[in-house]
Amino acid sequence: MSFAGTYIEDLQVGQSVEIGRTITDADIVMYAGVSGDTNPAHLDQVYAEGTMFKGRIAHGMLTAGQISAVIGTRLPGPGSIYMSQTLKFRAPVRPGDTVITRAEVTAIDLVKKRVTLSTVCRVGDTVVLEGEALVMAPSRG
């Protein structure tokens, strides 16, 4: 398998990547199965209509998983090691919503081979999740 990521030596503060994914009913059901989180707010429309959200919502961590996809496949990409992540959930994601996930390099520590990324997920103009990730990036050295 060939390396297709970005070495830390080639990263720059301000560099960013976005990916998009539409969250489906199947995604929510599969996430419930894998995680064990069967909260009816995610799975039962009748129950969810009685909540503050007035309908089903996706698991917050399903949305957060899109950040992992950016880090592991695009920025820095393959070979990256996810070390930590802060998350602030700002708004719900619903089945059928398209989540645009953006990661931007905010700091680089060449000595420790670590990169700090600002992470934001949006549905349209609404920020649904924001935070900061710390990642160990692959190095040539």
| In-domain check, residue 31 | no
Give the tens place of pLDDT for each residue, 97-124: 999 999 999 999 999 999 999 999 999 9
Q: Report residue 88 as tokens.
A: 């602030």
| In-domain check, residue 73 | yes
Which helix (H) or strand (E) segment is 117 a member of? strand 114-123
**Reported pTM:** 0.94
Q: Tokens 């995610």 belong to which residue?
A: 42
CATH number of the domain that residue 12 is part of: 3.10.129.10
- Cα–Cα dist 103/133, whole Å: 9
Q: Report residue 74 as tokens.
A: 């695009």
Number of structural domains (the chain) is 1
| In-domain check, residue 69 | yes
| In-domain check, residue 38 | no
Largest CA distance in the chain: 56
| In-domain check, residue 126 | yes
Instruction: Tell whether the model's pLDDT for residue 5 goes beyond 60.
Output: yes
| In-domain check, residue 53 | no
Q: Shortest CA distance to 126 belongs to which of 102, 95, 92?
A: 92
Range of the domain at 92: 8-23+60-136
